[in-house]
């Protein structure tokens, strides 16, 4: 789980972030060793820190940010 050590989020939010992260990795074709995974995780953390809690929005906005 890429967000295991992230502080400041409750368990439900961390699960939502992980769900969005996994879906975005699948959509973008990011394998386990792809360096873009860290960039994707950082984007999802930033979105969640700004208050986004909808998994579909986290997914969509994160994919948009990386899929340029």
pLDDT digits (tens, 9 = 90+) for 12-64: 999 999 999 999 999 999 999 999 999 999 999 999 999 999 999 999 999 99
CA torsion, points 40, 33, 13, 51, in degrees to nearest 10?
A: -10
- pTM of the full predicted structure? 0.92
Measured over all CA atoms, what is the biggest interatomic distance in the chain, rounded to whole angstroms? 31
State residue 66's pLDDT score.
86
């Amino acid at each position: 789980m890429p967000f295991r050590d992230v502080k400041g989020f409750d368990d439900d939010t961390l699960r939502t972030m992980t769900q969005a992260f996994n879906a975005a990795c699948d959509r973008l074709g990011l394998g386990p060793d792809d360096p873009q995974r860290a960039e994707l995780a950082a984007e999802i953390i930033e979105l969640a820190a700004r208050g986004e809690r909808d998994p579909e929005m986290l997914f969509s906005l994160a994919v948009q940010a990386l899929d340029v």
